[in-house]
Structure 1
Amino acid sequence: MLYLTLRHYEYICAVAQHGSLSAAADAVHVSQPALSAALSRIEDHLGLSLFLRRRGAALAMTPQGRLFAEKAQALLEQAALLEDPKAAGAGQKKLMLLCFSDLAPFLLAPALKALRLAMPEVEISHWACGFEPLINALSNGEADLAITYDLGLDAGFSRAELDRLSPHALVPPDHPLAGCGGISLAELAEHPLVLSQEGLSVHHMLGLFKTHGLVPRIAHRADSLELLRSLAANGEGVGISYSLPPGRMSYDGKTLCEIRVTDARAEEPVILAAHADLPETSAAYQAHGVLKEALSAPRSDLAQADHHID
């Protein structure tokens, strides 16, 4: 019968730390096949899947694996203390929080503040990124939670709705649409548009037009929200954005008018995404509750700064 030793715990922690089987094998001075076989035996002994194994993809930790690795690391550090009382104390729990890049200026800092107040013992890392790397990081077990729009995530993730936002059309003050109190997608389709270049964003917005049998004219696809707003402010097309930074000005100092898109289907939820099977003893489980309470609507600043998908 296999009994787990400190060496086995070192194997698991090495994979969690280095993120690849080959790098972990080098770190613990064993061959890659030997490490792979040892990890399989450890999982069989525990009756848990600690790692995600996908053909053609790097080895990654499951949520259970990340929690187990945290405890294993603490055990190794406690063992080191027995041998050397001057050694560093047990490590902190760790948490990786992702945020969709256009939501990050509005929500990431409040999220970090809430987490650090509620969970001072947890080491919190964060990353603001686009949809594709965000989804990949969640799927590969590299991240615990994500603040994002409900785009591209499969049924393996839970979703807690934080708010629901409408897109807005952005035009300069002298544009014919500037005085409108609201606008439909059908009306927008009559004008050249400025959309984001972000893949899922574009698909989302084009899908909205398609549901109404509309084919929009795209004048520009912008690399960033700031560029989208500048193009719209300079009359290069009608910008469509869920993000409305305060001030109604583009980065180059031009005034923008914001017109709410009235189609109900255009509303998009902002969600807190997590693995569906978070262990209740994990830092991620506790953080989920903290963020849901701290970020859920009503939030006047979020409502006034509708965020950009496209």
Structure 2
Amino acid sequence: MRPTQKPDISLTQLRYFVAAAEQGSMTWAGEELFVAQSAISTSIANLEKSLGVQLLIRRRAKGLQITTQGVDFLQRSRAILAAVDDAVSALRPENTAGRVNVGCFRTLAPFYLPSIVSSLEEAHPELQLDVTELLADGVNDALHDQAIEVALTYDLGLDGDITREVLAQVPLYVAVGATHTLAGRSSVRLADLVDEPMVLLDLPVSRDYFMQAFTDHGLRASVRYRFANFEGVRAMVASGHGFTLLNQQPKLGYTYSGGELHRLSIVEPTRPLDIVLARRASSAPMTRKASLFADEARLAVARIMGSTADATQTAS
């Protein structure tokens, strides 16, 4: 009985396919990899022929659409390329050249990413950090699909098979404008806010977390405005259009428009949020490149949270 012939697949084909699938264009994939578009197209066509399945649908003037089989193959291809890359790095641990795909929660990015990127660029200029900005409803998929290896995120809506390394815990607080009747206080009861207009940071899963602070105490907030932009919420509150609930605390209490915000602690017990490094529980050990990002994330969170705590103590 003749053995089944295995498909003849190269790492180059996998790299070209992953780039094309991620970019949604063979032309853009070629630009990213510094090769001709025709080389990308031919390589992927040969890959599909070897596999006997169509991975990408070519749409004239509309880019590429990945097929169902392509989605699964993309996930596995990323894992293969990461494993090969890490195996090579293990032989030469001093070599950190190459790409690493990581994720960061949208509202955490402005606080932590600049210092993380600066530190990595200074210490490892050969490392290419590709960051995907995520919301709570996208972290699980990005990790499961291996679009990213690790995420700096809140512990919000994460699946049970996601491991979490807690870096810090941030409490919930109330923010009001300088002219608000509560601005002179240092703390407030949630019960005192139910008749006040609320400006909600309206992001997936996050919105439920904020509203849960009220429902846990049998209360219902009066949401007047909803914004998916952190600074949009802060600007509306500073302009006197209501209060909001937030976790992250900018060093400055001023908004883009120059309005001033006052922070109040909450008298009732509320659930804080954990800032975590999240990974798939079933994934291989973290690669060297991802470990570099994780190390800098730990340092950045510890440093910024420490300075925030010092500023809060000074203000009080």
Q: Do Structure 1 and Structure 2 share a fold, with TM-score over 0.5?
A: yes
- Aligned partner (choices 10, 13, 20) of residue 11 of structure 1: 13
For 1:104 and 1:305, locate their aligned partners in 2 and report how far apart those are by CA, in whole Å: 21
For 1:273 and 1:140, locate their aligned partners in 2 and report how far apart those are by CA, in whole Å: 14
Question: How many pairs does the alignment contain?
Answer: 278
- Aligned partner (choices 20, 30, 47) of residue 45 of structure 2: 30
Q: Any unmatched runs of 5+ in structure 1?
A: 40-52, 75-89
For 1:35 and 1:301, locate their aligned partners in 2 and report how far apart those are by CA, in whole Å: 56
> 1:178 deviation in Å?
1.2
> 1:93 deviation in Å?
2.8
For 1:2 and 1:12, locate their aligned partners in 2 and report how far apart those are by CA, in whole Å: 22
The answer to whether the 8 Å contact 1:98/1:146 transfers is: yes
Q: Calculate percent identity across the aligned residue pairs.
A: 21
Query: Quick one: structure 1 residues 27 and 281, their matched pair in 2 at CA, closer, same or farther if it must change by over 3 Å?
Result: farther
- 1:138 matched residue in structure 2: 143
**1:300 correspondence with 2:302:** no
Instruction: Give SS of 1:189's match.
Output: coil
- 2:104 matched residue in structure 1: 99
- 1:184 matched residue in structure 2: 189
The answer to whether the 8 Å contact 2:112/2:297 transfers is: no
For 1:185 and 1:216, locate their aligned partners in 2 and report how far apart those are by CA, in whole Å: 9
Instruction: Give SS of 1:199's match.
Output: coil
For 1:193 and 1:168, locate their aligned partners in 2 and report how far apart those are by CA, in whole Å: 13
For 1:220 and 1:213, locate their aligned partners in 2 and report how far apart those are by CA, in whole Å: 22
Cα deviation per residue 1:219-247 (whole Å; 9 max; x = unaligned)? 11123122111211222111222233233
- 1:61 matched residue in structure 2: 75
Query: Quick one: structure 1 residues 11 and 175, their matched pair in 2 at CA, closer, same or farther if it must change by over 3 Å?
Result: same
TM-score, normalised relative to structure 1: 0.74
Query: Quick one: structure 1 residues 66 and 250, their matched pair in 2 at CA, closer, same or farther if it must change by over 3 Å?
Result: same
Query: Quick one: structure 1 residues 225 and 233, their matched pair in 2 at CA, closer, same or farther if it must change by over 3 Å?
Result: same
The answer to whether the 8 Å contact 2:190/2:214 transfers is: yes
Q: Any unmatched runs of 5+ in structure 2?
A: 30-39, 55-66, 90-94
Cα deviation per residue 1:4-57 (whole Å; 9 max; x = unaligned)? 898433332233222279969834153675343599xxxxxxxxxxxxx96895
Matches within 5 A, 1:215-294: 215-280=220-285, 282-287=287-292, 289-291=294-296, 293-294=298-299
The answer to whether the 8 Å contact 2:105/2:152 transfers is: yes
> 1:139 deviation in Å?
2.8
The answer to whether the 8 Å contact 1:181/1:260 transfers is: yes
| Paired residue type of 2:15 | C
| Paired residue type of 1:13 | R
Which range is displaced more, 243-252 or 109-118?
109-118
TM-score, normalised relative to structure 2: 0.73
- Aligned partner (choices 200, 205, 216) of residue 195 of structure 1: 200
Cα deviation per residue 1:185-242 (whole Å; 9 max; x = unaligned)? 3333232211112122111111222222211110111231221112112221112222
Query: Quick one: structure 1 residues 54 and 265, their matched pair in 2 at CA, closer, same or farther if it must change by over 3 Å?
Result: farther
For 2:168 and 2:86, locate their aligned partners in 1 and report how far apart those are by CA, in whole Å: 35
For 1:125 and 1:36, locate their aligned partners in 2 and report how far apart those are by CA, in whole Å: 29
For 1:9 and 1:270, locate their aligned partners in 2 and report how far apart those are by CA, in whole Å: 36
Query: Quick one: structure 1 residues 181 and 91, their matched pair in 2 at CA, closer, same or farther if it must change by over 3 Å?
Result: closer
The answer to whether the 8 Å contact 1:13/1:72 transfers is: no
The answer to whether the 8 Å contact 2:175/2:245 transfers is: yes
Instruction: Give SS of 2:175's match.
Output: strand
CA RMSD of aligned residues (A): 3.7
For 2:311 and 2:133, locate their aligned partners in 1 and report how far apart those are by CA, in whole Å: 18
**1:150 correspondence with 2:164:** no
**1:161 correspondence with 2:166:** yes
For 2:42 and 2:262, locate their aligned partners in 1 and report how far apart those are by CA, in whole Å: 57
The answer to whether the 8 Å contact 1:146/1:272 transfers is: yes
Instruction: Give SS of 1:265's match.
Output: coil
